[in-house]
Amino acid sequence: MGETIVSADRILVAGAGGFIGGHLAASLLAMGKRVRAVDRKPLAEWYQLFPDAENLVLDLRLRENAYQAVNGCDEVYNLAADMGGMGFIEHNKALCMLSVLINTHLLLASKDIGIRRYFYSSSACVYNGEKQTDPDNPGLKESDAYPALAEDGYGWEKLFSERMCRHFMEDFGLIARVARFHNVYGPHGTYDGGREKAPAAICRKVIEAEITGKHDIVIWGDGKQTRSFMYIDDCIRGVFEIMASDIIEPINLGSAEMVSIDRLVDIVEEIAGIELRRTYDLDAPKGVRGRNSDNALIRHYLGWEPSIPLREGLEKTYRWIKGEMLRTSEG
């Protein structure tokens, strides 16, 4: 498959101060696009900040801010949400649900202003929990979202917002594309503070063991729960491919390389060159038992699927987090 073409020139990236949004803005700027980057966090807290973009601090849960953000743009990429790893979403269900205001107001503004195309970042958390009780998960097909039994709070908001996109297409003709992200990781993201996801959290814990010499690690759950993890470069390519496609239904965007959390720790230990004593916290938030991405549909539509090996992506992520942690400790 050749290089992805983004036809629009003026593009809104909502959630640009976040992990995926920052990488998306960087890629669009590298293509020579005019990017309006919006996030509610102060600019000093954005993971990546680019002087070539129009950077605005706006809370998109407010309708007037959504219209201000969309006005003058051709395409919208909505990656804005109040979210984090399991430790965050299990204890902040109402905050996660309130992200519905962001997508609702951005859709209304896009309809009224005449946006060409709209991208919504959904999540594998929309999938029926009863299909995720076995660590040997064969892969979640797009149809497995129904009958609905999504992750409480965060997953239900994502599933509802998917339906909003569908109905804005059906009723108003807005071209909307929806991707269900499966555990995206990489540099320039959260690795501490409570919102981090498993790859970044485990990298941080292993680096802490390296720095302190205390070779112990606490793992949430029994270590046998399984996931697939998609490196950020695959995610960004997939977003562009899906946005440019004719795919009208929500589609998986994730790696099919499923590993246990114990295996994830193994890989990071191998990268660091150390071995840690493991303690398992069975009372910690741990999510579903097994989750993997069935990529048959994306291969059918695009002839492509995320394929960057976990080991390769984790090495880059580990090096970046270690550099940040050493820089912070020296500072």
CB 276 within 8 A of CB 265: yes
Cβ partners under 8 Å of residue 270, min gap 6: 311
d(C-alpha 313, C-alpha 233), whole Å: 9
| CB atoms inside a 10 Å sphere around CB 149 | 17
| Dihedral sign, Cα of residue 150, residue 153, residue 156, residue 162 | negative
The one-character DSSP state at 150 is P
Active site residue 154: yes
Which amino acid appears at position 326 of this protein?
L
How far is residue 243 from each of residues 28, 104, 167, 214, 279, measured CA to CA in Å?
Answer: 13, 19, 17, 46, 43
Which amino acid appears at position 181 of this protein?
F
Residue tagged active-site, from 47, 127, 154, 191:
154
Q: Report H helices in the chain.
A: 19-30, 63-70, 86-89, 93-97, 100-113, 154-172, 198-212, 232-244, 261-272, 296-302, 310-330
Residues designated catalytic: 154
